[in-house]
Structure 1
């Protein structure tokens, strides 16, 4: 039997790494009948135009990709009317965030974020040697921007704002953002993580590009994994001031975004009309699902993402997850907080409603 313990005097993990919790991904579908609604993936198949590019590029995978991802950075820059030098890319938005923290944080610096939010934040902060600082959400699931601004210390280097927030689906309040950014020192990088921004449709939502142009310490973080449906290819990007973006490129893993990912992302940006049509379908289903759940007696946030959130007691969380599993539906539970369920096609969403409409099966939320 092979021992997993280190011999005396052998290599040992950093204390911060040894104490890290494991990132828990959403479970994948085990059979064709299973509805995998735990990872917020796109339920649409790849666009034909994107699939064609991937097929062509597959014949070149014996060659390294462009290390600087120049064509992709140029396409992103054109899409958002920024310069190529303001764009950095990486393996998913999580990979780009790791580049950000590596570029900005020294040991024992602080990385602040709302909680609950994306569970990778505290892990990536600790890996960078920084101290994660969690600021509780408000009772309406909004970021408590006043509390976050007040929690800034001399050690604060990065503040991450997730909008729409994962897992609650709530977007940042535009009325509060101006005051917040004016209160946060310019030495602190404010990263607005917009992994789900394409699904947002509320009027008056935060215009992060406008904020970016007016506040030099704002950085925008986005991904091709969600609305663009490239989760399996891992492509994310940041828009930041040139010195910061250059730092992100320097801390990137060489050739971190592969040939297929770069080409597929460029093709996806060119298919903007088709992506918008798919996003519109998700928004329509989201409105329908939230209305139906509220009619059934559930308290549901005004999600702006491709999922909805049920904040509930642990007992109810377990009951909901069990009832969904009995119906071959996988959802994501968060101990102490609630359940997140990804949106899918109409028929699959109906399967979810068939379970949750029996509200009497579950206790008080």
Structure 2
């Protein structure tokens, strides 16, 4: 056998797949290794060290709990699906049907019967309740463009909501020469959406009303019946955007999804991401459930589809319910551990239904964040005046969480 043939054999599909899957599952193995190492240290009276941390998708010795990422990494099935699909990336086109079928099953939404009477380009997605894009941030931008960029209008969003649409719309006066009024509605004392207050602010000029559920960064949750009652108080011309980026992590089964409301009402769009529960942040995949009317307005500004690797990874991830449950439980365990330690330390916090916890340190949070980062533990602070003393910490593995909590204790003790 010639050397070139040997080289080609080494790069065969089977060889590549074996290596890809080994690399893909390494993240999960490392997580288990972290757990075993931490258990040994605790049994012997030791503490997990930052040097021993091997987080999934980050460099060794770094605890990154600042960006609301999934600490477990993606489903091995998603990695396998991408590895298989890589051998066909020389061809144009993305088949969205399998991902749409997976979402249809998961979300309980019926797909329309396929229409074979008209030949459709494989560059154009078929009609249906789902609109797929490279990341959910693009969907929020498209909704903003569709309903505000031509004639202006009004946005109503919670004062301490995610704020993506409000931030984008704030530039529209300069960008498009249109008048956009942005209303950041006060929240309840528990930092929950004040739906009655938001409804009272709505007018015939209101174009978009935004709800992040669970809310980021406060982690508070609304139930579907609350949201539906709210929808019925608004002008029918207002588009209600419900961002459910963190809904999979709600400690409630079945999850309290607003997808049925998007199917029922023509003016409701539910937005989802694959970056959180499915740990596909770098792949860039998101979707919304919305009426054809809303989708048509959005497609005036964007008509492409996600890439082929993202699509097959998404379908595999949605079907891997076991891995999804592991991700949920890892986040729940992280929050319980934080709550218990914060209680011991006398630190006020907001119980959260997201992948993060807000805690009030009663001192400038930015200074603490800098001290933590200097020790290779990354968390975040908030810009809003009311939250200047609060940190937000995102879910980590068991070992990462222990290192975070110990480092926080050390930093607070040093600065007290």
Calculate the TM-score normalised by the size of structure 2.
Answer: 0.73
Aligned mate of 1:295, from 344, 353, 358: 344
In 1: Cα distance, 2:104 partner to 2:282 partner = 23
Match of 2:379 in 1: 331
Indicate if the aligned counterparts of 1:173 and 1:205 stay in contact, CA closer than 8 A.
Answer: no
* CA radius of gyration, larger in: 2
1:104-183 paired onto structure 2 within 5 Å: 104-105=147-148, 106-126=150-170, 130-172=180-222, 176-183=226-233
Change (3 A) 1:87 1:249: farther
Change (3 A) 1:76 1:37: same
RMSD across aligned positions (CA): 2.6
In 2: Cα distance, 1:144 partner to 1:155 partner = 20
Give, in angstroms, the shift of residue 65 of structure 1: 3.3
In 1: Cα distance, 2:255 partner to 2:82 partner = 34
- Measured against aligned partners, the alpha-carbon deviations of 1:191-227 in whole angstroms (never above 9, x if no partner) come to 1101011111147974423444554432211110101
In 1: Cα distance, 2:275 partner to 2:80 partner = 18
Change (3 A) 1:64 1:124: farther
- Measured against aligned partners, the alpha-carbon deviations of 1:139-193 in whole angstroms (never above 9, x if no partner) come to 2111121221111122211111001111121112567434322211221111110
1:226-237 paired onto structure 2 within 5 Å: 226-237=276-287
Which blocks of at least 5 consecutive residues in structure 2 are unaligned? Answer: 1-56, 112-127
In 2: Cα distance, 1:56 partner to 1:88 partner = 25
Calculate the TM-score normalised by the size of structure 1.
Answer: 0.82
Structure number having the greater helix percentage? 2
Change (3 A) 1:111 1:60: farther
Match of 2:72 in 1: 44
Give, in angstroms, the shift of residue 131 of structure 1: 3.7
1:178-189 paired onto structure 2 within 5 Å: 178-189=228-239
- Measured against aligned partners, the alpha-carbon deviations of 1:58-96 in whole angstroms (never above 9, x if no partner) come to 223333332x83432333223222244111111211111
- Measured against aligned partners, the alpha-carbon deviations of 1:296-344 in whole angstroms (never above 9, x if no partner) come to 111111111111112466x431232133223311111112223211111
In 1: Cα distance, 2:346 partner to 2:270 partner = 37
Match of 2:243 in 1: 193
- Measured against aligned partners, the alpha-carbon deviations of 1:81-130 in whole angstroms (never above 9, x if no partner) come to 22441111112111111222222333321122112222423233245654
Indicate if the aligned counterparts of 2:74 and 2:317 stay in contact, CA closer than 8 A.
Answer: no
1:1-365 paired onto structure 2 within 5 Å: 31-66=59-94, 69-84=96-111, 85-105=128-148, 106-126=150-170, 130-172=180-222, 176-202=226-252, 206-255=256-305, 257-311=306-360, 315-335=363-383, 336=385, 337=387, 338-357=390-409
Indicate if the aligned counterparts of 1:164 and 1:304 stay in contact, CA closer than 8 A.
Answer: yes
**SS at 1:33's partner residue?**
coil
Indicate if the aligned counterparts of 1:108 and 1:155 stay in contact, CA closer than 8 A.
Answer: no
In 1: Cα distance, 2:352 partner to 2:415 partner = 22
**SS at 1:153's partner residue?**
coil
Residues 123-132 or 326-335, more deviating: 123-132
Residues 332-341 or 265-274, more deviating: 332-341
Change (3 A) 1:148 1:327: same
Which blocks of at least 5 consecutive residues in structure 1 are unaligned? Answer: 1-28
**SS at 1:353's partner residue?**
helix
